[in-house]
Amino acid sequence: MARPLRVDFDGAVHHVMNRGANQQVVFLDDSDRLLFLGVVAEAVKRFGIEVHAYCLMPNHYHLLVRCPKAQLSRAMKHIGQVYTQRFNKGHDRDGALFRGRFHSILVDSDNYLDNVARYIHRNPITKSMADSRVLDEFRWSSFHAYEGRVKAPAWLTTDEVLERFPRAGEYSRFVYSTKSDRITAQFYSCEFGRGRVLGDKAFVKKVARRAKSRADGLRPGIE
C-alpha cells in the first residue's frame, strides 16, 4: 500500500495541526504560548511562509499557512523542534513534546480559505462550552486580530480572508454564525491524515496532475 502523500508546491495553502504526545499539554502557561508564537514569527521570516490564522489549544495547535516557496516541511520542522527545545529548557524536561510529524490538509484557497479560517477560529467552542461567546474571552487565536480588537502582529496575514468580507463586522458574524457548520463538519469529521485535500473535484484533479509522480496515496476530502 502506497504511503499517503504530503503535497506541497509554490503557493499551496495548508491547514496544519499537531497534538501533544499522549495528549499531553503543550502550552502550560501564557509564556509558552508567547514562546510558540515567537517561533512561528521566526519561521515566517526565515522560510517565507504566510500565516493566515492560528489557534493554540492546551494540547494542540492549528495554523493556516500559505507557502509561496513550498517550504512547509522545513518551516514546520523548525517550529516543532525549536519550540520543543525551548519548552523543555524552560520546564526542565526532555523528550518529545508532540506526537510526531505535523498533519496537514491541502486547501483549495479560492473556495475554502474563509471556511478553514472560520473552523480554526471556532476551535475553542466545545460541546461543554458551546456558547460562541467563549470566543469573546479566548485570547490565543488570531480571531481578535481579525475583529480589530487587538493589533495584528506583523507576521500574521489577514487581508486575503478579510477582503472576502467587505462590510464592517461581516467576518465576525460569519465566524459566530452556525450556518456553515454543515460544510466544515462534512470534512473535518474525518481523521487528520497525510495527503488530505480540501477542494472540489477539479481542484483534486489539478493537485493529482501536479504531483503525478508521487500521487498514488492522494485521498480527496470534500468533493
Q: What is the pLDDT of residues 115-169, one digit of tens each?
A: 999 999 999 997 656 677 789 999 999 999 999 999 999 999 999 999 999 998 9
Q: How far is CA 33 from CA 52, 109, 131, 145, 158, in A?
A: 17, 27, 24, 16, 20
On whether residue 210 sits in a domain, the answer given is no
**In the chain, what is the straight-line distance between the N-terminal and C-terminal CA atoms, in Å?**
23
Single out the residue of 12, 13, 20 nearest to residue 36, CA to CA.
Answer: 20
On whether residue 218 sits in a domain, the answer given is no
Task: Give the mean pLDDT of 102-117.
Answer: 90
On whether residue 18 sits in a domain, the answer given is yes
On whether residue 214 sits in a domain, the answer given is no
pLDDT beyond 60 at 1:
no
Q: How far is CA 222 from CA 4, 37, 198, in A?
A: 17, 31, 6
The total number of structural domains that make up the chain:
1
Domain that holds residue 23: 12-203
On whether residue 195 sits in a domain, the answer given is yes
CA–CA dist 64, 104 (Å, integer): 9
Enter the C-alpha cell of residue 16.
496544519
The pLDDT assigned to 127 comes to 66
Of 91-95, 98-102, 127-131, 147-151, the one with minimum mean pLDDT is 127-131
Contact call for residues 121 and 146 (beta carbons, < 8 A) = yes
The pLDDT assigned to 209 comes to 73
On whether residue 85 sits in a domain, the answer given is yes
Q: What percent of the chain has pLDDT over 90?
A: 61
On whether residue 209 sits in a domain, the answer given is no
pLDDT beyond 90 at 111:
no
The pLDDT assigned to 90 comes to 97
On whether residue 4 sits in a domain, the answer given is no
Of 119-128, 165-174, 204-213, the one with minimum mean pLDDT is 204-213
* Furthest-apart CA atoms within the chain: distance in Å: 50
Can you point out the beta strands (E) in 48-124?
A: 50-57, 60-67, 103-107
CATH number at residue 134: 3.30.70.1290
